[in-house]
Amino acid sequence: MHLDRRLLLSGLAALAACRTGDAYGPEASTAGRALTRLVSSYPDHLVRVESDSLVWADGTRMPTGEGQAARPFEVMLRDATIADQLRQTYEPGPVWRQPPPRDHSPGRLRHTPFFLKMYGECREGPSRRRQVQWMPRTRPQMLPVTTVNDVAGRLDRVIDRLEDLPDRLKAWLVPSAGTSNCRVVADTGLPSMHAFGAAIDIAVQHSDYWAWARSRGEPVYRNRIPPEIVEIFEAERFIWGGKWYHYDTMHFEYRPELFA
Ligand SMILES: [Zn+2]
């Protein structure tokens, strides 16, 4: 019902774009809306989109890449434009009962210079990080998290709500496998959101990762993370790696721009 309504609305939006003579058609207007959402998701950093540039609060302009045709996912994974980064929308709620469609991994496409500018180089040191106490009433653990975009504060609120879950669900959470590290993603060679201190891995013990379960090279979807945990992170605009085709069910990262 919800989905039908959304399809209807996007159909109406596409029709409206045609009728107003939008030269780029419905796809471009979808990209335009996604860019508007990007600006409003990061109000401390971004001011507006002006023709084909994203304008930052300090005057920096970055090309959006809007209007460029999609390239194969594997190519975009290594070299995404800002517009590519917004091509896939993250759907909150219990949609993971279906395995994600091939190459549907909202959040994995990232324009690295965008995140480097926003969060800084991880080798610069701890200036933009603070220690967050993970699960203080269950199994306290200090974890460095970025203060940019108040990610640390948001994680504090996630933790408060996770602590209120029934005790039987805590086993999925502790100990955390970590937040910040300077390593790159194995298959792309690019920094992950962990390099920016804006991601957390919950406990490894009950997690699943695509590379651990492959059949003829293709990932076979598997998840054991309870929906209650995912929904608490999503409420603070952390996306979950369990909704990726190349899934990583212990992984959460702050990506408000991907929520429709
Ligand atoms: Zn992770």
Q: What are phi and psi of 196, to 5 degrees?
A: -100, 5
Which among 137, 175, 186 is positioned nearest to 159, based on CA atoms? 137
Q: Which of 98-112, 124-138, 205-219 has the lowest mean pLDDT?
A: 205-219
Which among 80, 110, 87 is positioned nearest to 37, based on CA atoms? 87
Q: Which residues of 112-142 are buried (b: 16+ CB within 10 A; e: fewer)?
A: bebbeebbbebeeeeebbbebebbeebeebe
In words, the CATH class of domain 117-258 is alpha beta
Which among 99, 142, 148 is positioned nearest to 122, based on CA atoms? 148
- Evaluate if residue 1 carries a pLDDT over 60: no
pLDDT (average), residues 106-110: 95
Q: Which one-letter amino acid corresponds to residue 161?
A: R
pLDDT at 3: 41
Are 110 and 221 in contact by the 8 Å Cβ rule? The answer is no
* CA–CA distance, 104 with 87 (Å, rounded to integer): 10
pLDDT at 95: 67
Q: By three-state DSSP, how is residue 102 classified?
A: coil
What separation in Å is there between the alpha carbon of 81 and the centre of ligand 1?
22
What separation in Å is there between the alpha carbon of 152 and the centre of ligand 1?
16
What separation in Å is there between the alpha carbon of 181 and the centre of ligand 1?
10
What separation in Å is there between the alpha carbon of 52 and the centre of ligand 1?
32
What separation in Å is there between the alpha carbon of 201 and the centre of ligand 1?
5
Alpha-carbon dihedral sign for residues 99, 221, 111, 93: positive
* CA–CA distance, 219 with 252 (Å, rounded to integer): 19
pLDDT at 139: 97
Residue bearing the bigger pLDDT, 179 or 217? 179
Which among 35, 34, 41 is positioned nearest to 118, based on CA atoms? 41
Q: By three-state DSSP, how is residue 121 classified?
A: coil
pLDDT at 43: 97
Strand ranges inside 17-167, DSSP E: 46-50, 53-56, 61-63, 129-134, 141-146
Give the tokens for residue 88.
């896939």
pLDDT tens track for 142-197 = 999 999 999 999 999 999 999 999 999 999 999 999 998 887 887 788 899 999 99
Q: How far is CA 215 from the centre of its chain?
A: 27
**Domain ranges in the chain?**
2-86, 117-258
- Evaluate if residue 14 carries a pLDDT over 50: no
- Evaluate if residue 247 carries a pLDDT over 50: yes
- Average pLDDT score, the chain: 87
pLDDT at 185: 80
Query: Which residues are 249's β-sheet partners?
Result: none
pLDDT at 21: 32
Q: Which residues of 176-209 are buried (b: 16+ CB within 10 A; e: fewer)?
A: bebbbeeeebeebebbbbbbbbbbbbbbeeebbb
Q: By three-state DSSP, how is residue 260 classified?
A: coil
What separation in Å is there between the alpha carbon of 195 and the centre of ligand 1?
10
